[in-house]
Structure 1
């Protein structure tokens, strides 16, 4: 919530009284408490001044920014807030006191009849999003059943050929910059992450991500699993859980996320991560980091159900070719 005036206090009270709205107030941002009532309430802490917004957007899981500042008096500051949120793909709404609830041609209303002006919003069509989630749930369940023999065979081979767990579990950054645990078949030796410092200097890509074609930590079976993309099969469980989608920007490790130097790169976290995306079908590891990020932005901007279907069908030959796989 940007602002600590009476308007902000009123909306914060409404949010606290109506959990069914689905809002969780992270806190307030302003140069000081402008309302004694807001300061005395337990609605949220003062997270920082207006100039702290860019850093807060980088470090906190935020879906929307509600602006309670008067537009006329804080036009420049609000314009800067909108620009920062646009880089991250975060919706910005301004609470107004000049809306008539009985007016049929209203701009937009939050739950409870709170009138707003939408200053920036990249959210997808609600019906399209619902279809995407239903498709994810059904297709991932069907594929898990269909691929059960492959799943069991890979499990047995991993146990026979190397010591350690079958699954590789790692914290990745997902939708809204929220962390989740990704599942993959283990393709490296045990404690591979602890050995990262020994191979870090061999990184073959520019940017925060790490890629090494002949990574010595990869097991012989792991090379085959990666080349064939069979190591990705357990991620269908992540899709079924709702952590991921079948199609979307690839989920990145915390290490890679923390290395992002440009805010617009973080817009990829405004949608659910996926098993495959444009990057997967257009070269995978053979393209540069900037090209990869540009493809993610292109996917977000041009998304449709039909684009997802197209990418899924294009993924099949890409997997058989093993194009760009590491």
Structure 2
């Protein structure tokens, strides 16, 4: 069995990556030095100490959030790099501020250093991961797996392992859960690094017997639960009162992710509002002059956790009253004013929602909020519909930049929109948010289906 060598190798890889993080921060400082001081080898007093201390700090912060990306995703790896960078920069700037030593260092140097640090760290991680994948594909530092279970689920798992050869996991044998004698024999051979027990729900009662057959194995044993029939949102394991509980449906914004998302929203919303305030004043005046009624239309929507919130929009319809039913706008809708048609088609009617973001009711990116009455209607027709409320509603979203805007005159259209919303919840990251904002600028504002 190669477990000892592999575990030692994994530790070595982890330590090398942490050391590379420190070296990358130092390299970013070298770049900043060249830009600020013209490549001078003699730095002003105190710079060397600051660079060394920050490099060691970066290595420490990386160690706090680092996880092996064997079999993991690029997004998760990059997210941890960004998080470590944010913590490092936050501590660096805090020290400069509270020690009143910021004046001792060139702002151009510090700014260039901080700005170049992140792309260099991301490039370094990319190169390391590609190198590890290259080694894994050639059988170096792989983990051999004994897969217990036969049938569609196990066959699919074995296929995934074959196709994802870069992950380093190699299913070398597959055996039925009923063949306990064979399992005991294979476990005693000590040739496997991991054992995966992958049984359908109706065979779950066999797991204790399988575990007993593996009692002499020193391999890492994992149980793959049969949860393919459930829609899982940000699943994982949570310990409550010391008891491990499997999360079927959880929020993507737990812990540090929630803070990151809030900072992202407040910073972007503040900047955008400052930039578009003249435009908003012009639209407000145009709405007031072209039709009677209020400038801002307020409508109740469901927010995070299903809580009712008030969402702002520039009024795009003639004033009318709807009591128990909210009718979606349709093509050539007589209620829409001429100016309102332009505002809706270009999404300019949504601009007041940046105020909702600063109020904490909405996010810049997230599932679009639907009218309360629509939620009551669709939640009975579309499975997992209310899972959309695991996150704050957004001004723009993954569904919108993929063309799913405007009237949903069929259930299928709403189902597709919900699917895109759930995909966003399952794969949320800062990078995905920035990608959606970028796509919104170029393809998300104007849409032929927005009436």
TM-score (norm 1): 0.60
Q: How far has the Cα of 1:193 moved from its partner?
A: 3.2
Match of 1:222 among 340, 343, 360: 340
Q: How far has the Cα of 1:129 moved from its partner?
A: 2.3
Structure with the bigger percentage of helix: 2
1:275 paired with 2:275, answer: no
Q: Structure 2, unaligned stretches of length 5 or more?
A: 1-226
Aligned residues of 1:87 and 1:266 also touching (Cα < 8 A)? no
TM-score (norm 2): 0.44
The residue number in structure 2 matching 1:295 is 420
Q: How far has the Cα of 1:301 moved from its partner?
A: 0.9
Q: How far has the Cα of 1:127 moved from its partner?
A: 2.1
Correspondence list, 1:129-168, <5 A = 129-168=258-297
The residue number in structure 1 matching 2:356 is 238
Correspondence list, 1:175-194, <5 A = 175-193=304-322
The separation in 1 between residues aligned to 2:324 and 2:376, in whole angstroms, is 19
- Helix, strand or coil: the match of 1:169? strand
The separation in 1 between residues aligned to 2:446 and 2:308, in whole angstroms, is 32
Aligned residues of 2:233 and 2:426 also touching (Cα < 8 A)? no
1:325 paired with 2:443, answer: no
Match of 1:304 among 393, 408, 429: 429
The separation in 2 between residues aligned to 1:161 and 1:152, in whole angstroms, is 14
- CA offsets 1:181-234 (integer angstroms, 9 cap, x no match): 00000000112535968xx5xxxxxxxxx3412211000110111111110010
Q: How far has the Cα of 1:152 moved from its partner?
A: 0.6
- Helix, strand or coil: the match of 2:300? strand
The residue number in structure 2 matching 1:119 is 246
The separation in 2 between residues aligned to 1:136 and 1:233, in whole angstroms, is 14
- Helix, strand or coil: the match of 2:421? helix
CA gap of 1:306–1:272, structure 2 versus 1, over 3 A, is same
The residue number in structure 1 matching 2:257 is 128
The residue number in structure 1 matching 2:406 is 285
Aligned residues of 1:90 and 1:270 also touching (Cα < 8 A)? no
- CA offsets 1:249-297 (integer angstroms, 9 cap, x no match): 0011111011022341111111111000111111123771111111011
Q: Structure 1, unaligned stretches of length 5 or more?
A: 1-82, 94-106, 201-209
Aligned residues of 2:299 and 2:310 also touching (Cα < 8 A)? yes
Aligned residues of 2:329 and 2:407 also touching (Cα < 8 A)? no
Q: How far has the Cα of 1:151 moved from its partner?
A: 0.8
The separation in 1 between residues aligned to 2:368 and 2:399, in whole angstroms, is 8
User: Aligned pair count?
Assistant: 215
- Bigger radius of gyration, 1 or 2? 2
The separation in 2 between residues aligned to 1:215 and 1:297, in whole angstroms, is 30
CA gap of 1:270–1:245, structure 2 versus 1, over 3 A, is same
Does 1 or 2 have the higher relative contact order (CA < 8 Å, sep 6+)? 1
The separation in 1 between residues aligned to 2:372 and 2:445, in whole angstroms, is 30
- Helix, strand or coil: the match of 2:406? helix
The separation in 2 between residues aligned to 1:301 and 1:142, in whole angstroms, is 28
Greater mean alpha carbon deviation, residues 281-290 or residues 258-267:
281-290
